[in-house]
Structure 1
Amino acid sequence: MNTSVTAEKKPTRFRTPSFGVQVLIGLVLGVVLGLVARSMGADGVDATTGEVDPNWLTETLSTVGGTFVTLLRAVVPPLVFLAIVASIANLRDVTGAARLAWRTLAWFAITALIAVVIGIVLGLVLQPGDHTSVTSDAASAPSTTGSWLDFLTGLVPANVLGLEGYDNGDGSVGFSFNVLQILVVSIAVGIATLKVGEAAEPFLGFVRSALAVVQKVLWWIILLAPVATVGLLGNAVASYGWDALGSLGMFTLAVYAGLALVVAGVYPALLRIHGLSVRQFFSGAWPAISLAFVSRSSIGTMPVTESVTERNLGVPRSYASFAVPLGATTKMDGCASIYPAISAIFVAQFFGLDLSVTDYLLIAFVSVIGSAATAGVTGATVMLTLTLSTLGLPLEGVGLLLAIDPILDMGRTAVNVAGQALVPTIVAKREGILDQTTYDAPRGRDAWREDEDTREPAPALA
C-alpha cells in the first residue's frame, strides 16, 4: 500500500521590515510630510507675543518628535550612572584593564585630532564665512555658553544626582541634569566599589539589575524611533525648510563634507590598516548610526551602540561595556571636532578677524581635550562657545548658526556614534581580543537586538 505524506503547510506570517528599513521609511515620510506642512503655511501670528503659530501638521510633527526626545532625556541620568558604574566594575575581570583604558583614550584623541584637522582644512578652503547671505542682524549670544572655567567648575557635582535648577523666566523654576557631573559621580562610585571589594557585591548586584531594567525601558523607547523619525525630520523641514540652508549653504556643505570625509574616508582607512572589512563594520554598526541620526543623541543611542559593538563587531562584552559608555559621553568627532573647527573659522571670516597659527593649534587642543564638555543628550553649542571663548571670537556668532543646527546635528551625532563603535573595535583588534568570526559573520535580521541574542555570555578576558 502506498502512503503519501503531505507536508503541512505553515501559515504565511507577515514580517515587518527590519529596524533599519523602518527608520529609512520614516526618513522619507518625514521629508514628505515636512514639505507638505511647510507648503500649508502658518495658522497666523500670536497677537500677544508676535510669534508665528504653526499649522496643525507642523505642531503634530513637533509633538511626536519632541515626545521621543523627552523620553530619551528621562532615562539618560540613571542610564549613564548605572552603565558607568557597572562598566568600571566589569574591568576588574579584564587583565590589563588599565592598558585598555589608556589605549581607548589615546585612540579617542587620535581620531578627534584627525577630524579637527579636516575641519580646519575645509574651513580654510571653502571659506564659509565669506560665502554667506546671512546678515549680522541674526547674530546673538546663546543662552548656554561654555568656557574653561565653566567646564572645570562643572566637573564638581552640586549634588549626587547632578541636578541643576534654572529660571524659566516666568517665575517658575525648572530642573535639568548635568551629564558631565553624573559622569564624575559614577566614575567615583565605580572606583569606590572596586576598592571596597567583596562588601560591595550586593550594591553591584543591585546596579546590574537596575541597569537591565533601565535598558529594557530604553529598548521600548528605541522601538518608537521610526515613528519619531517622521516627527523629528518632518518638523525640521517644516520649520527651517531650504531658506536657512540657502543662506548658510557653504557652511552646511563644509560641515557635511567634513563629516563625510571622516566617516567615509578616515574610518575606512583605519579599518583597512588593521585588516578589518569596511563593509562588515558599517553593516554591523548601521542600527546605531541610523538611530543616532534620528535621535541626535549619543547617550540615548548608547545601548544600541554597545549591542552592535559586542554582537555584530565582536568586541568582548567586558571591554565594550566600558568603552562604549565612556565614548558616548566624551567621544564626539562630529560635535566636538569638525563642527567647532569649521564654525570658529566661519565666525572669524564673517566678522573679518584673522586667525593665527596659534589659534588653529588652540582649536585642535580644545577639540581633543575639551570634548567632554559636549556631554549631554543633544547639541554642541557648549563646545562651540568653549572654542570661540578660547580664541576670543564673538559669541554672537553662534546666533548666526542656530537656525540650521538641528539639521547639522543629525549628521554630527551619526559620526559621533560611528566613532564610538570604531575605537573599541580597533583597540580590541590591536589587543588580539576581537572575535573575528563574529565580525566577519553574515548580518542577521536585527542581530543587534537584545531580545534576539542567543549566544552564550562572553567569557572574561584572559
Structure 2
Amino acid sequence: MSTDTSASAAPAPARVRIPKVPFWAQILGGLVLGVLLGWAARHWEIDWLGTTLTKIGETFVQLLKLAVAPLVFFAIVISITNLRKVSNAARLATRTLLWFMATSLIAVAIGLAIGLLTNPGSGTGLSARDGAEPEEKGSWLDFLTGIVPTDVITPFTELNVLQIVFMAAVAGIAALRLGPKAEPLLTLGEAVLALLQKALWWIIRLAPLGSLGLIGTAIKDYGWNLISQYATFTADIYIGCAIVMFGVYPLLLATVAKVNPVQFFRGAWPAIQLGFVSRSSVGTMPLTQKVTERLGVPKEYASFAVPFGSTTKMDGCASIYPAIAAIFVAQIFGIDLGVGDYLLIAFVSVIGSAATAGLTGATVMLTLTLSTLGLPLAGVGLLLAIDPILDMMRTATNVAGQALIPVLVSAREKILDLEAFNSAKSFSLDDLERDEARSARTPDGDRDSDGDRDRDAAGEGAQPLPA
C-alpha cells in the first residue's frame, strides 16, 4: 500500500498580511465618516446617532483633559531641571522666549491685515441681538492675579493650566537650587512623566475615532448653513493660519535656520495632524516633543522648549484668531477701531497668550482681547457656534509653531543635528512606541547596549548631539 507524501511535502501557504493603514489615513477617514454621519443625523433627525457622535467626541476630549494637569506639571518641572544638562541654558531660554514673541507679532499682523482687507463682519446677516456674553471670561486683573493659586489642589481639580505652570516653574527652579538633594524627587517625576506619556499614547491612538465624533457633532449641531453664514470669517482664519504655517514658517526655516522647510514638515506632520484633530496643544505635547527630537533638536533642550510652548506659544489661538475676531465683532456692533486699538490687539496677543492654556477653544483669550478694546463681550457668543471648526486649524498652527521654534533656536546656536534633520521623514505611532520601548531598556534613555544612539524609523543613525 503506497502512501502519498505530496501533501506533507508541500510548503505551507504564506500568510496574507493585512497592510496597516497609516495614521494620517485613519484620521482622514474619521473626518470624512464623521461629516457623513453628522449630516445624516441632522438631515434625517436621527437622535441616537447624534447622541452617539456627541458622546464619542466628548469622551475623547475628556480623556485628553484627564492627563493634562499632571502632564503639564511634571513636564514643566523636568524641562526646567533638564536645562542644567545644556550649556548656555539661560541663553537658550531667552532666545526661545524672544522667538515666541517675534513669531506671535508676525502672526497677529497677518491676522489684522486679513481682517481689514476682507471685512469679515459685513454681510453676515448677524446683529448684536444674536450674541450673548459667555460664561467664561478673561480680564487683565483675572490674568495677573489668577497666576498665583490660593492652594495647591484647586488648580488641578479645576484644570487651571496657568496656575499649574506657575507652580511647576517654582518647583523646577527650587529643584535646581537644591541640587543633589532634589534628585530623588526628579527621578520620581521622570518616572511619572514617562507613565503619563505612555497612557497618552493610548489616547492618541483613539484620535481617528475622536475626530469622527468631534466633526460629526459640529455638522450635526450647526449644519452647513452656519458655516456659510460665517464663510468669510471662517475662510479668514483658515487662510491666515495657512499663510503663517506654510508661508512664514518655511521662510524662517530657509532664511534663519537655513534648513529645508519640506524636511521640517515631513518630520513634524504627525504632531500637526494630531493637533488638528484633538484641538489640544497640551494633549499633543508628547508627540510634538518626540517629532522635535527626531528633527535633530537636543533632547534636553526640546524637553524645555516644547512644554513651555505648548502652554504659551499660540500663534493660531492667541494671535491670528483674536485679531480677526476683534475686527469681526467690531463690525457687527458698528464700532470703529483705530490704530491704537490694533496696537492693543498685538500687545494682548504677545503678553496674554498664556491665558489660552493649550486647551481646546480660545474663549478666555478672546474675552481678554475684547475687554481690553472695550468691545461687547456678547460678541463672543456670536463665535461660539463656529468655534470647533475654527479650533482645528488654529491648534494645528499652534503645534507647528511649537515645533518650529526649537528648530530655529537650535540651528542658530549650532546645536541642531543636521543629519537627523535631513533624514527626517513621516512616521507612524508604531515607530514612536518602538523608540520609547528601546529607550526604556537602556540606562541613559537614548543609547542602546552598544553605545550607539537610537536610530530613526528609516534605520539611519544620527550623529551625537552637542552638549
* Residues 314 and 434, structure 1, Cα contact 8 Å, conserved in 2: yes
Q: Which residue of 1 aligns with 2:328?
A: 346
Residue type of the alignment partner of 2:359 = V
Moved more, 270-279 or 452-461: 452-461
CA distances 1:367-407 after superposition (whole Å, capped 9, x unpaired): 01110011142110100010011111111111111110111
* Residues 288 and 417, structure 1, Cα contact 8 Å, conserved in 2: yes
Report the number of matched residues.
434
CA distances 1:34-74 after superposition (whole Å, capped 9, x unpaired): 111121126xxxxxxxxxxxx11111011111101001111
Residue type of the alignment partner of 1:256 = Y
Distance 1:413 1:146 in 2: 20
Residue type of the alignment partner of 2:87 = T
Moved more, 226-235 or 183-192: 226-235
Moved more, 267-276 or 405-414: 267-276
Q: Which residue of 1 aligns with 2:362?
A: 380
Q: Which residue of 2 aligns with 1:228?
A: 210
Q: Which residue of 1 aligns with 2:136?
A: 144
Percentage of matched positions with identical amino acids: 58
Please give the secondary structure, in 2, of the residue aligned with 1:128. Answer: coil
Distance 2:418 2:28 in 1: 29
Q: Which residue of 1 aligns with 2:105?
A: 113
- CA drift of 1:141 comes to 0.7
* Residues 162 and 181, structure 1, Cα contact 8 Å, conserved in 2: no
Q: Which of 74, 79, 89 pairs up with 2:71?
A: 79
Q: Which residue of 2 aligns with 1:89?
A: 81
Are residues 1:297 and 2:289 paired?
no
Q: Which residue of 1 aligns with 2:313?
A: 331
Consecutive unaligned residues of structure 1, counting only runs of 5 or more, are: 1-5, 43-54, 165-174
Q: Which residue of 1 aligns with 2:220?
A: 238
Change (3 A) 1:271 1:138: same
Distance 1:444 1:148 in 2: 41
- CA drift of 1:13 comes to 2.4
- CA drift of 1:8 comes to 9.2
What is the RMSD of the two structures over their aligned residues, measured on CA atoms? 1.8
* Residues 318 and 461, structure 1, Cα contact 8 Å, conserved in 2: no
Are residues 1:122 and 2:114 paired?
yes
- CA drift of 1:427 comes to 0.7
CA distances 1:5-48 after superposition (whole Å, capped 9, x unpaired): x9998634223212122111111111111111121126xxxxxx
Q: Which residue of 2 aligns with 1:66?
A: 58
Q: Which of 150, 160, 166 pairs up with 1:158?
A: 150
* Residues 131 and 250, structure 1, Cα contact 8 Å, conserved in 2: no
CA distances 1:338-358 after superposition (whole Å, capped 9, x unpaired): 000001111111111111111
| TM-score normalised by L of structure 2 | 0.90
Change (3 A) 1:258 1:37: same
Q: Which of 127, 132, 136 pairs up with 1:135?
A: 127
Distance 2:175 2:110 in 1: 41
Are residues 1:37 and 2:41 paired?
yes
- CA drift of 1:449 comes to 4.5
- CA drift of 1:362 comes to 0.5
Q: Which residue of 2 aligns with 1:51?
A: none
- CA drift of 1:420 comes to 0.4
Please give the secondary structure, in 2, of the residue aligned with 1:432. Answer: coil
Q: Which of 242, 264, 282 pairs up with 1:281?
A: 264
Distance 1:101 1:109 in 2: 13
Change (3 A) 1:195 1:8: farther
Change (3 A) 1:14 1:442: farther
Q: Which of 388, 394, 405 pairs up with 2:376?
A: 394
Q: Which residue of 2 aligns with 1:50?
A: none
- CA drift of 1:303 comes to 0.4
Distance 1:354 1:135 in 2: 16
| TM-score normalised by L of structure 1 | 0.90
Change (3 A) 1:354 1:448: farther
- CA drift of 1:158 comes to 2.0
Distance 1:181 1:304 in 2: 23
Consecutive unaligned residues of structure 2, counting only runs of 5 or more, are: 1-9, 440-445, 448-452, 454-463
CA distances 1:228-269 after superposition (whole Å, capped 9, x unpaired): 111111111111111111221111111111111111111111
Q: Which residue of 1 aligns with 2:290?
A: 307
